[in-house]
Amino acid sequence: MKKLILFLLIISSNLFGQNPSLVEAAKKIIDSTIVYDPAYIRIKYPMGDVDPKTGVCTDVVIRAYRGIGIDLQKEVHEDMKANFNLYPKKWGMSKTDSNIDHRRVPNLMKFFSRKGKVLKITDNPLDYKPGDIVSWDLGGGILHIGIVLKNESVIHNIGYGQIAEDCLFCWEIIGHYSY
């Protein structure tokens, strides 16, 4: 019965352009004590995660989706394995690596553009619905990703833990997705 309710929530949220179950899962992982740590770590596969007391911006997205039963580690790895030539080659990789591929913003952007829905980038906060994924260019080649909670509030980790703050338009938006 729980799976049926979850399925109906996901289907209905996609019809209306919102993902309330993802938003609720994201709210549950808000924790300002999470230490920002981008280190390469070997993790189990599937359902692997770095130490729960650490993480980066991608880990916020990964953990929120895990909260609704979607393992982005597995999903990204399988898509990259089947379509490696479509993914960025910024790290000199010649094959996939299930420890890190899903933890890289450009890879998540490519995955969401392939498997989700690419949404319009605008300067109107009403165009960004709860549960949308947004990626930013922070400058200097640094990319960032988070989940829209409501209005201009997003959950992300930019070095101060997994926090929610009104920062949707603080940086240049370069990606807007629904998945």
The CA distances from residue 148 to 5, 24, 126, 165, in Å, are: 23, 11, 11, 10
What pLDDT sits at residue 17?
53
What pLDDT sits at residue 41?
96
* Nearest residue to 65 (alpha-carbon basis) of 31, 112, 25, 106: 25
* One pLDDT digit (tens) per residue for the chain, 179 residues: 544 444 444 444 444 457 889 999 999 999 999 999 999 999 999 999 999 999 999 999 999 999 999 999 999 999 999 999 999 999 899 999 999 999 999 999 999 999 999 999 999 999 999 999 999 999 999 999 999 999 999 999 999 999 999 999 999 999 999 99
Query: pTM of the full predicted structure?
Result: 0.89
Domains of the chain as residue ranges with CATH: 2-178 (3.90.1720.10)
| Helix, strand or coil, per DSSP, at residue 83 | coil
How far is it, in rounded angstroms, from Cα 7 to Cα 89? 35
Q: Beta-carbon neighbour count of residue 167 at 10 Å?
A: 17
* Nearest residue to 119 (alpha-carbon basis) of 132, 138, 106: 132
